[in-house]
């Protein structure tokens, strides 16, 4: 289910569209790439931001006949979303090039925010059995990631990459790394407040630098 269109779509001479809406209490399963998407084209193609609420839904890719790289809930480009109370599971990347390295390999995410505009929130969701529970990438100062329960996500519970981010009061258990802060395109700071992290096999918190950029995790 998608709100808005990318700039590749041309309607009445306009590249892409924005949209607003709310999805509540819906079961989404059996998809190939993404379950719920909010998107709007970057300016100059579109000046209006898509604004969407995804609340209290159940999202899982289900069983498909060939390898995929699914994302459960995806907020992209010039869009914001309030993502709250959802249950997401099974977003696991199975195509060639998948793996735990967030710089050189690919990962799927239960919830991914990849937005150039502030205003999104990711709160009180339950995400499990995915590569990454909540992924904040290329989204400078975009989100509040708080109160989520992230269980047995195999690589990262939360990953903040190439754009400052903030977490608060999340409960993370299992997987390799609880919270990762990664910089390979811009210096990145993750401010981590009151998160509970248990049972990780590599590290509760990990900073990953690359390419002359610095990742900093500030734990409060």
pLDDT tier, 63 (very low <50, low <70, confident <90, very high otherwise) = confident
User: Which pLDDT does position 140 carry in this prediction?
Assistant: 84
pLDDT tier, 143 (very low <50, low <70, confident <90, very high otherwise) = confident
pTM of the model: 0.94
pLDDT tier, 197 (very low <50, low <70, confident <90, very high otherwise) = very high
Does residue 179 belong to any structural domain of this protein? no
101 and 115 Cβ atoms separated by less than 8 Å = no
- pLDDT tens digit sequence for 72-128: 999 998 899 999 999 999 999 999 999 999 999 999 999 999 998 889 999 999 999
C-alpha–C-alpha distance, residues 26 and 29, integer Å: 10
Mean pLDDT over the full length of the chain: 92
| pLDDT above 90: residue 160 | yes
Tokens of 191: 């401010």
Domain that holds residue 89: 2-163
C-alpha–C-alpha distance, residues 81 and 120, integer Å: 5
Does residue 186 belong to any structural domain of this protein? no
Radius of gyration over every alpha carbon of the chain, rounded to an integer in angstroms? 16
Does residue 188 belong to any structural domain of this protein? no
Does residue 207 belong to any structural domain of this protein? no
Overall domain count for the chain: 1
Does residue 205 belong to any structural domain of this protein? no
Q: Is 201 helix (H, G, I), strand (E, B) or coil?
A: coil
Nearest to 158 by CA among 116, 194, 192, 118: 192
Does residue 185 belong to any structural domain of this protein? no
Higher pLDDT, 77 or 167: 167
pLDDT tier, 46 (very low <50, low <70, confident <90, very high otherwise) = low
For a pLDDT cut of 90, what percent of the chain falls above it? Answer: 77
Does residue 83 belong to any structural domain of this protein? yes
């Amino acid at each position: 289910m998608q709100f808005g269109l990318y700039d590749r779509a041309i309607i009445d001479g306009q590249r892409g569209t924005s949209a607003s809406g709310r999805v509540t209490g819906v079961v989404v399963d059996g998809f190939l790439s993404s379950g719920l998407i909010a998107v709007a084209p970057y300016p100059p193609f579109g000046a209006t931001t898509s604004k969407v609420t995804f609340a209290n839904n159940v999202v899982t890719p289900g069983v498909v006949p060939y390898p995929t790289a699914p994302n459960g809930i995806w907020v992209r480009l010039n869009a914001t979303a309030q993502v709250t109370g959802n249950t997401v599971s099974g977003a696991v990347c199975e195509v060639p090039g998948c793996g735990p390295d967030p710089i050189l390999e690919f990962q799927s995410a239960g919830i991914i925010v990849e937005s150039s505009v502030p205003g999104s929130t990711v709160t009180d969701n339950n995400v499990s059995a995915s590569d990454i529970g909540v992924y904040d990438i290329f989204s400078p100062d975009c989100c509040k990631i708080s109160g989520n329960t992230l269980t047995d996500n195999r690589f990262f519970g939360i990953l903040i990459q190439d754009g400052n981010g903030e977490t608060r009061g999340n409960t993370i258990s299992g997987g390799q790394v609880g919270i990762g802060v990664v910089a390979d395109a811009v210096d990145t700071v993750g401010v981590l407040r009151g998160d509970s992290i248990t049972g990780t096999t590599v590290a509760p918190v990990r900073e990953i630098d690359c390419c002359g950029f610095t990742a900093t995790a500030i734990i409060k």
